[in-house]
Chain A
């Protein structure tokens, strides 16, 4: 999961660098280009990017741990947002919290919401893995994957989860009016505080995951399971349990992502699909299966998308992520941090 940056072939890097320079040239030539717009492009790009990164992190984690590409991951993001929103609505009209913390009222509630999304999505992910995905892997000995079926099932699960969410929360877009305070001024630019929250919380979650995987015993076990299920079994790791844990962590991170997006945009039943696709692009750009690569890929996709819609054309916003993915796949098929298959632990 954590190998060093692979220095690609020289040719790859030169062609890729040329593309980057051409793109920057194009943006600089745009009439909207000035330092103000650049600042907002960077902040919006980073804050959107960290969300893509968080979802991509989950996709990569599941891919390394379970050898499955989880196509229902966007739905965990969406349900996470709803879990956060539900908690917010529960706490929103409780006067006693306001009486105890009159100043910090808004963000304490928001932190509780984030925590709720994290825990509930973690448990929900474990539940889904145990009840729906585990039976599919029976043929492969209880933890390996029995072919293409499980990928198609990911799509099915996605449809089912969307419809369940539709029944519970109906398709109307819901606001998430977290009271986090006034916009903050950074370098002459007024930023909605939710952007800061996204970047700070997103980066802390990513750093926390890094710490968890590299410094704790359970993390060591997870990395072992990701590399080889048989050898992990032979050193005494309870592999089926660890696979559930991996799935749960990935879903919990997606849930946090959903709650982070909520206050800036809105919470809708259909928000998972497009996020999944963008996160997919982010994972591919960063190098599929590589965790730091997922975050870097997320930032790259986020900034590229925002910059393009600012400076090139705003009417095709959703196109750019995939354009970037195609270019990266053409020139550097392994992404920025390509994973050599043998080294993926």
Chain B
């Protein structure tokens, strides 16, 4: 079969070099699309590279700050063992490399860190920090991702609703809830959630959801909701104001004037544009949620990395503290970069700048 090229087909833009034919957008994943965008676009390349280098320097800064902070802690990790003789202390110091000069320790630490080795725990015999992170981070990450999903979906939904019902009853009710969500600390939500659940479980005589612990999906729902609550309230406010701004915009009026159904204006014109500011704050929101998670982990007895971090701080477990902090720092820095790149893909106006 002969393909006929339409005569009025637009010529290829000059900045497209050696690209494979476009695949229908429905078939590629978001990540793939971002990579395509990066490969296709020269400035995008530069931007990504710049952000990555910035990210790596930031992680280096975090690692250095953590190292310096930890070496200024009063007392040392070996002082936990009471009554050890000088010789034993010296041996222990040699084993953990604490007898070397500070500068040397720093470079050994950086070198190991580049290799992805965070060392051995001080308080748990022969346990690698990497193992601890590998075991506990997935728990925190699962909780965090679920919380972000709750927060983002809830925020967009409630925000859009309040804007549509501006100054009417649904708006008043939701905005009242939002103010509560911003003003009530998450541990209070956690306690109230548990209390409600206990009473509900008692009322129905069955266990609707477990009150604490970890393991199944049912364990995750309440903690994730509690963890995402503050962010959800914040995103609702953001979504509302961005939605209200868009309702008054020219293109929405045009869409209305040309007779588009309200549902289509809402989904294609208002929602899509109003979501953009929400996406920009998603990076910092992920950061806040994952590091803020340990309060919720504590209340719900979830074996996440945050709870482990608090424990390590209480026991002055140097390597675990440093490893966890640097790991979290790196995670957050790259989360923000990924969100920024995603933003460039979603909003073409950003790419032009």
Same assembly: no
Report B's interface with A, CB cutoff 8 A: none
